[in-house]
Amino acid sequence: MRDVSRLTRFVALLSASTAMVVGFAPLVACARPDSAGPELSTQQPDTTPSLGASVPPPASNPPTDTPPQPDLAPPPIDIPDLPVVSDEVAREEASRLAVLMKHNVKGFSTYTPERRKAFLTLAKDAVTQADMPVSRPQLVMVVDRNEKIQHLDYVLALPDAPWESLGGTPVSTGTTGRKYYYITPTGVFQNTADRLGYRAEGTKNKYGIRGIGAKGSRVWDMGWQTAMKGWLPRHETGQIRLEIHATDPQFLEWRLGHPASEGCIRIPATMNKFMDHYGLIDALYEQAASYDPRFQALLPKDRQPTQIAGDLVVVIDSGPLTEPKIDPIADKRPLP
């Protein structure tokens, strides 16, 4: 009797262990009771033919006259060349855009010769150091993060001739002394089609602020960049997503011209609209829109892209210069 009892317990333990091992498979597969489709079964159907059952012959080879399958390879993408114009045409187009900005961009101003020289010299040096030579006449967006300057300047960059300043507006870059606020990094950043920007939804935070502007405002995504943490005394670095965007038109736009952002570049709403409509830094986006519907959907349907559109944003720090030095004859009329 003792031997029979031991044998009975051994069989019971063996059965329980087998059940645990078999029941473990669905947990590994992360199956959920509410998942679509039939639930996983731990028991496989018995496919062994019974004695006396007829076994079907193996399937014959498919007929040799089956038509060949069509080639499913996608057609090659025809990427258009970037527009190239002469220096003379580029200067005429730059002058046209400057006049349009004077009349349509709030706060637009030209600068004194000293200020223009600072923008041009520092921007050209940065592009040279970044080994990103300008190969065609194009616009370059230059931002001076100097806390006493905080302005942008659109520059006409020419491959074999002096660069020229068109003028610009106040901006806000990263500030210090506030937790999780970074200092906007200097350098040359490309608005490449490897990243897809987006548009603001116009939603308000708990303070009623539309952080990246009114609904539909464009946001340019310049990718992950290393920036100094402005709230730490030793300015340790971290990663930020560098973006160019508008700000709340009612509560925050009046603060442009002073450091105020978390590391991004804030611009006036009217400059945002102008850049978007004329594609000032959208050269590569316009190229991508010819074959990628995502970019086509992002860009305005009524846009008028300029032939001298560029793709570079240069952030400089003019350091010792302490005044923006606005040209007093600049036209500052707001939008009608």
Top pLDDT among 75 and 236 is at 236
- The residue with greater pLDDT, 321 or 234, is 234
Summary mean pLDDT of the chain = 83
Mean pLDDT for 80-93 is 97
Q: For 123-171, what is each residue's pLDDT tens digit? A: 999 999 999 999 999 999 999 999 999 999 999 999 999 999 999 999 9
Query: Residue 62: its pLDDT value, please?
Result: 57
Task: Please tell me the predicted confidence (pLDDT) of residue 12.
Answer: 46
- For the chain, helix, strand, coil in percent to 5 are 25, 20, 55
For residue 320, is pLDDT > 50? yes
Q: How far is CA 138 from CA 177, 204, 282, in A?
A: 37, 36, 11
Six-digit token string for 324:
């923006």
**The pLDDT of residue 203:** 92
Q: What is the pLDDT of residues 29-71, one digit of tens each?
A: 333 333 333 333 334 444 444 444 444 555 555 555 666 666 6
Round to whole Å and give the CA distance between 128 and 259.
27
HSE, CB side, 13 Å, CA atoms: give it for residue 37.
Answer: 4
Q: Which two tokens stand for residue 213?
A: 């502007």
- pLDDT of 234 > 60? The answer is yes
Per-domain residue ranges of the chain: 115-316
How many Cα atoms are found within 13 Å in the side-chain-facing hemisphere of 10? 6
Taking 80 as the threshold, does the pLDDT of residue 77 lie above it? yes
pLDDT score of 235: 83
Closest CA to 260 of 177, 321, 326: 177
Contact 212, 245 (CB under 8 A): yes
CA atoms within 13 A on the CB side of 166: 30
When pLDDT is averaged across residues 184-199 and rounded to a whole number, the result is 98
Give the CA angle between residues 182, 183, 189 to the nearest 5°.
105
The whole-model pTM stands at 0.75
Q: Which of 240, 295, 239, 248 is nearest to 267 (CA)?
A: 248
pLDDT of residue 7: 43
pLDDT digit string (tens) for 111-127? 999 999 999 999 999 99
Say yes or no: domain 115-316 is CATH 2.40.100.10: no
